[in-house]
Chains A and B, each alone.
Chain A
Amino acid sequence: MAKEIILGIDLGTTNSVVSYLQADGKVKVIPNPEGTNTTPSAVAFKANGEEIVGNAAKRQAVTNPDTVLSIKRKMGTSEKINVKCIKKDFTPQEISAKVLAYMKKYAEDNVGQAIKKAVITVPAYFNDAQRQATSNPGVTPALFVA
């Protein structure tokens, strides 16, 4: 069995980055499917139920009012994000979880093994509610967050 990989995720307001410690002790940034090291922290919804995350979501933000950007600013608040095209409300944690799930998926594809643990960065000024919201295991599927 290969050594367990623990991801290091920088969940940013505008962009996010995912990395891990290689067997040779070097930190490797995992590029997204489009080949870039940073992934926009953007999630877009379409009326047909399709969800777009990352670069593609950012590219169509102007045309799609149901694109959620800079969700990190709302972490830990009770504010709901109303997605009109599918008539559904999302918490900031749920939106954030979609970005994390997308990054986890492409990280798994890249390293070729399942990943269960991650360390997610938060700004020093984040309060307890914001920290809890970021690492909420209920909405961050299949990732134990430290």
Chain B
Amino acid sequence: MEKELKPEKKKDVKAEEEGKDKEPRSFRHKLEVKEAEIEKWKADANHWKNEYYRGYADTQNLRKALERELGEGLKYRAEGFVAELLPILDGFYFALAMEPANPEIKNYLVGFQYIYQNLLAVLEKEGVKEIAPKEGDPFDVRTMHATEAEEREGQPNLVVRVLNKGYKLKDRLIRPANVVVSKAKAAEVKKEEDGATNKEDGVKKDA
């Protein structure tokens, strides 16, 4: 027969058993909480790592863009100044292109020719290049601006007259050379178009 426990002892055993159950439960709970915290930290770390990568990439891109801009700014630093000088260079060019009959004025012009050449030499040192097409040169869209087209016999798209010289600063066009360009006479164009139409008709008939 089982020995009956005293009521006090019974109480102690019960409390002990409850304590045993409670301990692992609270430990599991704590573990779960900690695991959840770790997951949250991991997600946070990933988030900030991602933000860092993006921020770093943005900074790198901005740095590159600023470097490029700075480089270009330095390379073409004289652009605005040169552009403002162009009307003065034009003035020199047109004045010196005159052929005065008076020998005294002619002598003056020789002096001005030197000044003009010196000015061009200084600009050349800065990287300024003249674009001076000649009559009969083919029209180049990269360096010339066709302000007018005149009907001429022969090949079209040739320089007929130069109105203004053009200027480049290093590889950048500051001002294109303004030119008058030749174009085929209207009668010739019509003849060509008629010829093309007849050819097409012939092809259609053959088909």
Contact = CB atoms under 8 A, between A and B. Distances in A.
Interface of A: 1-3, 22-24, 34-35, 52, 56, 59-63, 111-113
B181 interface: yes
B92 interface: no
A3 B141 contact: no
B62 A59 contact: no
16 contacts: A1-B57, A2-B58, A2-B60, A3-B58, A22-B65, A23-B62, A24-B62, A35-B76, A56-B141, A59-B141, A62-B149, A63-B149, A63-B181, A112-B61, A112-B65, A113-B61
Contacts of A111: 61, 65
B28 to A, nearest CB: 41
Interface string B56-77: 0111111011000000000010
Nearest to A28: B65
A112 B57 CA distance: 12
B168 to A, nearest CB: 11
Residue among B61, B79, B157, B183 with the most chain A CB within 10 A? B61
B139 interface: yes
A62 B139 CA distance: 12
B54 interface: yes
- Give me the 7 closest cross-chain CB pairs, A-B, nearest first: A59-B145, A2-B57, A62-B146, A23-B58, A63-B146, A60-B141, A56-B141
B146 A59 contact: yes
* Range of interface residues on B (Cβ < 8 Å): 20 to 34
A63 B172 contact: no
Contacts of B181: 62-63
Contacts of A24: 62
A142 B139 CA distance: 34
Contacts of A22: 62, 65
A63 B139 contact: yes
A94 B173 CA distance: 29
B144 interface: yes
A112 B58 CA distance: 12
A127 B173 CA distance: 39
Interface in B148-201: 148-149, 156-157, 172-173, 176, 181, 183
A63 B146 CA distance: 7
B118 interface: no
A116 B174 CA distance: 32
A22 to B, nearest CB: 7
Nearest to A24: B62
A127 to B, nearest CB: 36
B173 A3 contact: no
Contact of A34 (B59, B62, B144, B172): B172
A35 B58 contact: no
B147 interface: yes
Given A23-B59, A52-B141, 4 more contacts: A1-B53, A62-B146, A63-B181, A111-B61
Nearest to A50: B141
Interface string B17-57: 00000000000000000000000000000000000011001
Contacts of B125: none
